[in-house]
Structure 1
Amino acid sequence: MKTAIELAKNISWSMMFADFKEITKVRLAVSVVFSSMAGYLLGAYDISLLSLALLAFGGYCMVGASNVYNQIIERDLDALMNRTKNRPIPSGRMSVNMALTIAVILTILGVVSLYFLNPKTAMFGAISIFLYTSVYTPLKTMTPLSVFVGALPGAIPFMLGWVAATDEFGIEPGTLFMIQFFWQFPHFWALAWMLDEDYKKGGFKLLPTGKKDKGTALQIIMYTIWMMVISVIPVFGITGRLQLSILAAVIIFALGAVMLFFAFKLYEKRDNISARKLMLASVTYITLIQVVYVLDKFSATFF
């Protein structure tokens, strides 16, 4: 009997933990933490493990809180879509009050953790939550321009790491912000292309032309080109301490060219398979260029 009770408790805790991961979107949150830590490594003169830990914990809390607030607001719409109807709130596994409690606790923990790094970092973290939940989320059912608004908080993490390391905002974190800002358009529109039918069930207007057509595909190509250009600007020595070697710039440009290839394929075929390939290429791109930036900095330092 005791074993059965313990087993039931373990299953309950396991389900609660699974719901926590789902409502905070653990994979998205981890990718954001990765971006912020890359930005920290680029900006730091001396690396502090405590600062990295605070940044990782605070960053996860802020992203998690944004996602929870988003799912509270959109719970009725989530219930209409196949990809979201089994989320904790619309499925009935978690109450709105419980979700709100989690969101508030994560917000407080996130702001406090980032404040221990410096007030600017906490401010940018708080701004990202406000823009994501109070501006981007309600606009998603009104206008495709919501993607532009959503790209603002989405571009903060890479920049946030630099600010956390230096307590300064200037050309360097501004450049990191612009890289991730322009990257989000081809990435998110590829995702929205794949899920367009499901998104329409919830009334979301996310594709720039409202359709899976050449106009949307052409805008994806244009933003991909802008992303490629901005990503290699530091090689010209005009972005302060944020520098790139010629080799690193060539690698990053080549990675962008791969992504551009898939963008042209989407323009040519205009199907979900091409959109999926572009989406996966975009995830690979943003991860690898951050790695290249960091490795390039430290290779220049040591060699």
Structure 2
Amino acid sequence: MKSAVGTVTSYSWTLIFSDFKEITKARLALSVVFSSIAGYFLGAYEIEWSSVALLAIGGYCMVGASNAYNQVIEKDLDALMSRTRNRPVPSGRMTPRTALTIAVAMTVLGVIILYFLNPKTAMFGAISIFLYTSVYTPLKTVTPLAVFVGAIPGAIPFMLGWVAATNDFGIEPGTLFMIQFFWQFPHFWALAWMLDDDYKKAGFRLLPTGKKDKGTVVQVIMYTVWMIIISVIPYFGITGRLQLSLTGAIIILLMGLAMLGFAFRLFEKRDHTSARKLMLASVSYISLMQLVYVADKWISQLWI
């Protein structure tokens, strides 16, 4: 009997933990935390691991809250799409009230934790939640311009780490913001291309032309080019303390050109497989680019 009760309890906690990960989109949230920590390493004169921990926990709370709000607001639309109908709220495993409670609790906790780092970090974190929840989410069924709005909170994490380390917003975090801002368009439009039929079930308008056509891919290519340009600009010494060596710039340029190659492949084929390869290339690019920036900074300091 005790064994049976223990098994049920263990299963219940496993299910609760699984639903918590899904309501907060744990994988996405962890990738955002990774970007924030990379920005912190770039901005910090020396690493304070207590600050890194606060940034990681606070950052996860802010992203998790945004995702939970989103799933409460879109619960009826999520139920229409194959990829989202089994989420905790539309499936009925979690009530909207519970999801909203989680979102509010994580918002408050996240703002408080980030405030301990400095007020600017907390402010940008709060702005990202507001834009994602109150502007981007309602616009998704109205206009493809929602993607432009959504790219703003999506670009905040990389620069948020710098602000957390320095309590300052200038050209350096502004540059980090622009890199991730332009990156999001080819990344998200590749994803939207793959999921277009499913998105249409919920009335989402996310491709720039509304169709899987050459016009959409031209914009994918254009934003990829801008992403590459912004990514290597720090090499030219015009972005304050944010600098990049020739070696670092070449590595990032080559990675960017590889991603651009996948974008041209999508232009040529205009199929699901090409879109998926571009999406995966974009994920690899943003993570590797941030690692190159961090490694380049600390390796360069060893030579000073």
| TM class by smaller structure | over 0.9
In the alignment, the residues of structure 2 paired with residue 202 and residue 22 of structure 1 have an alpha-carbon distance, to the nearest angstrom, of 20
Q: Tell me how many residue pairs correspond in the alignment.
A: 303
Which residue number corresponds to residue 236 of structure 1? 236
Aligned counterparts, 1:1-303, within 5 A: 1-303=1-303
Give the TM-score of the pair, scaled to structure 2. 0.99
- Percent identity of equivalent pairs: 75
Q: Which amino acid aligns with 1:162?
A: W
Q: Which amino acid aligns with 2:157?
A: P
Residues 42-83 of structure 1 deviation map (CA, whole Å, 9 limit, x = unaligned): 000111000000000000000000000000000000000000
Q: Structure 2: which 5+ runs fail to align?
A: none
Q: Report the secondary structure of 2:45's partner residue.
A: coil
Q: Which amino acid aligns with 2:206?
A: L
In the alignment, the residues of structure 2 paired with residue 254 and residue 27 of structure 1 have an alpha-carbon distance, to the nearest angstrom, of 27
- 1:92 deviates by 0.3
Q: Report the secondary structure of 2:243's partner residue.
A: coil
Residues 161-210 of structure 1 deviation map (CA, whole Å, 9 limit, x = unaligned): 00000000000000000000000000000000000000000100000000
In the alignment, the residues of structure 1 paired with residue 116 and residue 45 of structure 2 have an alpha-carbon distance, to the nearest angstrom, of 18
Q: RMSD of the alignment, in Å? A: 0.3
In the alignment, the residues of structure 2 paired with residue 100 and residue 27 of structure 1 have an alpha-carbon distance, to the nearest angstrom, of 20
In the alignment, the residues of structure 2 paired with residue 220 and residue 45 of structure 1 have an alpha-carbon distance, to the nearest angstrom, of 36
Q: Report the secondary structure of 1:155's partner residue.
A: helix
Residues 115-157 of structure 1 deviation map (CA, whole Å, 9 limit, x = unaligned): 0000000000000000000000000000000000000000000
Q: Which amino acid aligns with 1:101?
A: T
Q: Structure 1: which 5+ runs fail to align?
A: none
In the alignment, the residues of structure 2 paired with residue 208 and residue 157 of structure 1 have an alpha-carbon distance, to the nearest angstrom, of 24
- 1:105 deviates by 0.8
In the alignment, the residues of structure 2 paired with residue 113 and residue 55 of structure 1 have an alpha-carbon distance, to the nearest angstrom, of 8
Q: Report the secondary structure of 2:211's partner residue.
A: coil
In the alignment, the residues of structure 1 paired with residue 208 and residue 97 of structure 2 have an alpha-carbon distance, to the nearest angstrom, of 35
Give the TM-score of the pair, scaled to structure 1. 1.00
Q: Which amino acid aligns with 1:77?
A: L
In the alignment, the residues of structure 2 paired with residue 48 and residue 18 of structure 1 have an alpha-carbon distance, to the nearest angstrom, of 32
Runs of 4+ in 1 over 3 A off after TM superposition: none
Q: Which amino acid aligns with 1:213?
A: D
